[in-house]
Amino acid sequence: AQTVTQSQPEMSVQEAETVTLSCTYDTSESNYYLFWYKQPPSRQMILVIRQEAYKQQNATENRFSVNFQKAAKSFSLKISDSQLGDTAMYFCAFMKHANDEKLTFGTGTRLTIIP
């Protein structure tokens, strides 16, 4: 079974600064998918960024980027120029392969952006 670990229950950072959220996972699969989901106070789960394990290039979406280290089974999220609207719970998630259809989530990191 796959496991996803987020070792930082809470983090805070000043507005406009850069913050990195950590995620490690355990799997014997070679081709899989990794995700970061954001859950603001409204509770709505929103996909932030995704990474396919077979791609060496780290995914980037505007101010959000990942550092994917396949050998180390690490998948961290970097938020640059943080904004107040980034305040949320962030969940790392794993999908075994494209047809597996099941997401395994980490326990989340509560991120607070301080004005």
Partner 1 sequence: NAGVTQTPKFQVLKTGQSMTLQCAQDMNHNSMYWYRQDPGMGLRLIYYSASEGTTDKGEVPNGYNVSRLNKREFSLRLESAAPSQTSVYFCASSDRDRVFQEQFFGPGTRLTVL
- Is 41 one of the binding residues for partner 1 (CB under 8 A)? no
| Interface with partner 1 in residues 48-107 (CB under 8 A) | 50, 52, 91, 95, 98-99, 101-103, 105-107
Cβ neighbours of residue 100 under 8 Å, at least 6 residues apart?
Answer: none
Interface with partner 1, residue 11, by CB under 8 A:
no
Shorter beta-carbon distance to partner 1: residue 43 or 115: 43
Residue 41 tokens read as 């106070």
CB contact at 8 A, 94 and 34: yes
36 to each of 22, 109, 110, 115, how far by Cα in Å?
A: 11, 11, 13, 24
> Least Å distance between CB 82 and partner 1?
23
Separation of alpha carbons 55 and 106, rounded Å: 22
Question: In this chain, which of 32, 33, 68, 75 binds partner 1, going by CB under 8 A?
Answer: 33
List of residues contacting partner 1 (CB under 8 A): 4, 9, 33, 42-47, 50, 52, 91, 95, 98-99, 101-103, 105-108
